[in-house]
Amino acid sequence: MAYEAVPGSEAGVLVIGAGPAGCTAAISLARLGHDVSMIAYPRGFEAYEGLAPRVASWLRAAGFAAALRVIPQPVKRRVEWDGSSVDRNAESIVRRSDFDRALLEDAEAAGVRILHDQVRRLPRAGLDDSGVVLASGRRLVARFFVDARGRAAHRAGDSRDGPVTVSIAQLWQGPARDPGTAVTACADGWVWLAREENGICFSQLNCAADVPGRPGVRGLAAWLRNRLESVPLACEWLDGCAPAAEPVARASTARLNLPLAPHGRVLRIGDCAMAVDPLSGSGLFQALSSAALAPAVINTLLRMPDSAALALNFYEDRLRHLFERFARTGRDFYRAETRWPAAPFWRERAAWPDEEIAHGMRRARAPEVALRAVVDDGLIRQARVVVTDDQPLGTWRVAGIEVAPLLDGLQATRETERAGALDRLLGQAGCNAQNASAVRRWFAGLQPF
Ligand SMILES: Cc1cc2nc3c(=O)[nH]c(=O)nc-3n(C[C@H](O)[C@H](O)[C@H](O)COP(=O)(O)OP(=O)(O)OC[C@H]3O[C@@H](n4cnc5c(N)ncnc54)[C@H](O)[C@@H]3O)c2cc1C
C-alpha cells in the first residue's frame, strides 16, 4: 500500500506522541514556521506526578495557557531519608490525564494538526520514501519525524541504562486530610506518596525490577499492600484508605537512548531520548527542557543541511551531559541513605554510573573561551563561549549579553582592576542596569582567573 501525506504536510514534520515533550517540540516547530502534525494516542494508565514549581514557570514563559490551568498550587514535600525527616521544598500534584489533555489543547491552539491514532511502525532507515504505519491502517509520509513516544519507545542499540527499576503505582480513596507529598526509603526501594485535599491518595513503590517475589498482574495488589505495610510512613498516609483502581507497574529505569537520531529523518526527544530516575522529582521538567532543544536542531537539519553534524553533535552532547549529571546526583542521594548498605537495591544504585564527582562540585579549572555550538534564533551555529567546570558545554550569553568578549577583556586586565573593567565593558556593550547586575553576579560565581 502507498504512503499518503497528511494534506499539506509533505514538506512538514510529523511528531509521534503527544506528551509534554511532543507538544513542546510541536509548538516550537510550528512557531518556527514548519507545518507540524502530531499523532496523539493517550497513555493506557492514570498517574499522579509531582511537578516542581519551575515547571509552571517554564510553561508560563513558553505560553502554555491550558496546561497552566490544570497545575494546582504547590503542596509541602516531606523527605524521610537515612532516618531523618525534613519538609523539603514543594510540588504540585498533577493528574497526568488532565495535564496531557491540556497540553494537546495548547498544541492545537498553536496550529499543530492533531491526528488521533497510534503509530505501529516508524520510518525505515535507508528508505527515503517510507513513513509511519498507523493502527488505523493509514501510512503517512513527512519530511521529518520526531519520536516522542516516551518510555513506550523501544530501547535503542547503544542505549545507556541505569539499574533496572520498576515503579508500582496504586490509587487510593481515603478521608479528606491535608494535601501533601512525601518520599520515604525502605529496605528494597523507596516510596512516593501524594494526597489531595479530597482524600485521593497515590502511592508509588520504586524497586528493582527483579525484587524477589513480585508477582505478575494477578496478585500484584495483595503483594503491594503487603510491601507498603512494612513502610511506616505509607501506613500513616494510607490509614483509612481503600484501593480505588488496580495497581499499575511501569518501567522507570534511567536511560539515555542512543543514538538520538537513528537515521537522517528521525530525532528522539523527551523520555524517548533521555529518561531520568523518578527519584530526581524533576523528570517532566527535564523532558520539557530537553525537548525544547530539539526544534532548533530539526530546523537546522531542514534549513541548513550543511550544519547537520554540528546540530546533531550539539544535541547529543547536551543530553549526554544532562544524563550524566542526573545520574551522579541521583547516585549521591542514594548514597546518603546508609541504613541498608548490603541490600542489592541500595548497593547497585550507590555505585551507578561511576565514581566521578557530581556536577557543580568541581572547582579547579579557570574559565576559558572556546568555540562551541549554540542555539541562535532557532538555528544551531558556532559561537565563542565561556567554558567552566560547572558548564563544560559553555555559556554563550547571560541576560542576553555575550560573555566571551567580556572574559577576553577581563583577562587582559590586572586582577585588582577587574571589577572596574567589567563595569566599563558592560557600559560599552550598552547593557542596562538589570542585565549588568545579572552578568556581574555570573562573573562573581566564576573561579578566580
Ligand atoms: C514511575 C514514574 C514516575 C514519575 N514521576 C514523576 C514526577 O513525580 N514528577 C516529574 O516531574 N516527572 C515524573 N516522571 C517523569 C515524567 O513522567 C516524564 O519525564 C514525562 O512524562 C516525559 O514526557 P514525554 O513527553 O517524553 O513522554 P510521555 O509523557 O510518556 O508521553 C509520550 C506520549 O506518546 C504516546 N505514545 C506512545 N507510543 C505511541 C505510539 N506508538 N503512537 C502514538 N503515541 C504514542 C503516549 O501515549 C504518550 O501520550 C515519572 C516517570 C515515571 C516512569
| pLDDT over 70 at 362, yes or no | no
Residue range(s) defining the domain that contains residue 107: 4-73+93-159+254-317
**Does ligand 1 have an atom closer than 6 angstroms to the CB of 38?**
no
Residues 218, 115 within the same domain: no
Residue 31's domain is classified under what CATH number?
Answer: 3.50.50.60
The alpha carbon of 19 and the centre of ligand 1 are apart by a number of angstroms equal to: 6
Q: Which helix (H) or strand (E) holds 81?
A: strand 75-81
Residues 424, 399 within the same domain: yes
**CB neighbour burial string for 157-181, b if at least 16 within 10 angstroms, e if fewer:** eeebebbebbbbbbbbebeebebbb
Residues 14, 148 within the same domain: yes
Ligand 1, residues 28, 41, 115, 255: which to mutate, most atoms within 8 A of Cβ? 41
Global pTM? 0.95
Average pLDDT, the chain: 94
Residues 180, 133 within the same domain: no
Q: What is the pLDDT of residue 361?
A: 56
The model's pLDDT over 49-103, given as tens digits with 9 standing for 90+, comes to 999 999 999 999 999 999 999 999 999 999 999 999 999 899 999 999 999 999 9
Q: What is the pLDDT of residue 446?
A: 85
For residue 357, being part of any structural domain is answered with: no
Residues 117, 216 within the same domain: no
Q: Across residues 222-238, what is the average pLDDT? A: 97
With cut-offs at 50, 70 and 90, classify the pLDDT of residue 11.
confident
For residue 342, being part of any structural domain is answered with: no
For residue 387, being part of any structural domain is answered with: yes
For residue 322, being part of any structural domain is answered with: no
For residue 27, being part of any structural domain is answered with: yes
For residue 363, being part of any structural domain is answered with: no
For residue 299, being part of any structural domain is answered with: yes
Residues 38, 56 within the same domain: yes
Cell numbers linked to 441: 553576579
**Does ligand 1 have an atom closer than 6 angstroms to the CB of 118?**
yes
Residues 306, 373 within the same domain: no
**Does ligand 1 have an atom closer than 6 angstroms to the CB of 22?**
yes
Q: What is the pLDDT of residue 35?
A: 95
Give the number of the atom of ligand 1 that is nearest the alpha carbon of residue 17: 34
Residues 148, 269 within the same domain: yes
The model's pLDDT over 295-351, given as tens digits with 9 standing for 90+, comes to 999 999 999 999 999 999 999 999 999 999 999 999 999 999 999 999 999 999 999
Q: Across residues 197-207, what is the average pLDDT? A: 97
Among residues 201, 234, 251, the one where a domain terminates is 251
Residue 102 and residue 94 in contact, taking contact as beta carbons nearer than 8 Å: no
Angle in degrees, CA 176, 180, 185, rounded to 5? 120
Q: What is the largest CA-CA distance in the chain?
A: 74
Among residues 317, 338, 355, the one where a domain terminates is 317
CA pair distance 205, 293, nearest whole angstrom: 32
**Does ligand 1 have an atom closer than 6 angstroms to the CB of 91?**
no
Residues 213, 144 within the same domain: no
**CB neighbour burial string for 17-39, b if at least 16 within 10 angstroms, e if fewer:** bbbbbbbbbbbbbbebebbbbbb
Residues 223, 124 within the same domain: no
Ligand 1, residues 133, 138, 147, 271: which to mutate, most atoms within 8 A of Cβ? 271
Select the more confidently predicted residue: 359 or 202: 202
Counted domains in the chain: 3
Residue 200's domain is classified under what CATH number?
Answer: 3.30.9.100
**Does ligand 1 have an atom closer than 6 angstroms to the CB of 3?**
no
The model's pLDDT over 403-423, given as tens digits with 9 standing for 90+, comes to 999 999 999 999 889 889 999
Residue % of the chain over a pLDDT of 90 = 88
Among residues 230, 251, 272, the one where a domain terminates is 251
The alpha carbon of 285 and the centre of ligand 1 are apart by a number of angstroms equal to: 11
The model's pLDDT over 110-169, given as tens digits with 9 standing for 90+, comes to 999 999 999 999 998 887 778 999 999 999 999 999 999 999 998 998 999 999 999 999
For residue 390, being part of any structural domain is answered with: yes
Show the 3-state SS of 200-253: EEEEEEEEECCCCCCCCCCCHHHHHHHHHHCCHHHHHHCCCCEECCCCEEEECC
Residues 147, 227 within the same domain: no
**Does ligand 1 have an atom closer than 6 angstroms to the CB of 122?**
no
| Protein residue closest via CA to atom 41 of ligand 1 | 119
Residues 114, 169 within the same domain: no
**Does ligand 1 have an atom closer than 6 angstroms to the CB of 42?**
yes
